Structure 1
Amino acid sequence: MFDKILQMSLLYDFYGQLLTGKQQEILELYYGNDFSLGEISEELGVSRQAIYDTIKRTEKLLFGYEEKLGLLQKFLLNKKQVEEILSIVEKIEKNENIQSNLSYIEKEIETIKKLSYAILEK
Structure 2
Amino acid sequence: MKEENMLDKTNRVNLLFDFYEPLLTEKQQTFLKCYFHDDFSLGEIAADFNISRQAVYEHIKRAEQILEMYEEKLGLVRKFEMRHTYIEQLNEILKYIPLEHQEQAKQTLMSLQNME
TM-score, reference length from structure 2: 0.77
Q: Confirm whether residue 74 of structure 1 aligns to residue 87 of structure 2.
A: no
Number of residues of Structure 1 aligned to a counterpart in Structure 2: 101
CA separation in 2, counterparts of 1:62 and 1:39? 23
2:30 to 25, 33, 46: 25
Distance 1:45 1:13 in 2: 27
Q: Please give the alpha-carbon distance, in whole angstroms, between the structure 1 residues aligned to 2:37 and 2:73.
A: 25
Which portions of structure 1, spanning 4 or more consecutive aligned residues, are displaced by more than 2 angstroms? none
Encode CA deviations 1:24-76: one digit per residue, 9 max, x unaligned.
Answer: 00000000001110011111111100000001111000000000000000000
**In the alignment, does 2:93 pair up with 1:88?**
yes
The percentage of aligned residue pairs carrying the same residue is 45
Deviations, residues 73-121 of structure 1 (Å, cap 9, x unaligned) = 00000011011111222x33xxxxxxxxxxx749xx8xx7xxx7xx7xx
Q: For structure 2, which runs of at least 5 residues remain unmatched after alignment?
A: 1-6
Which of the numbers 46, 52, 58 marks the counterpart of 1:47? 52
- Aligned residue for 1:3, secondary structure, equals helix
Say whether 1:14 aligns with 2:12.
no
Q: Mark the structure with the bigger radius of gyration.
A: 1
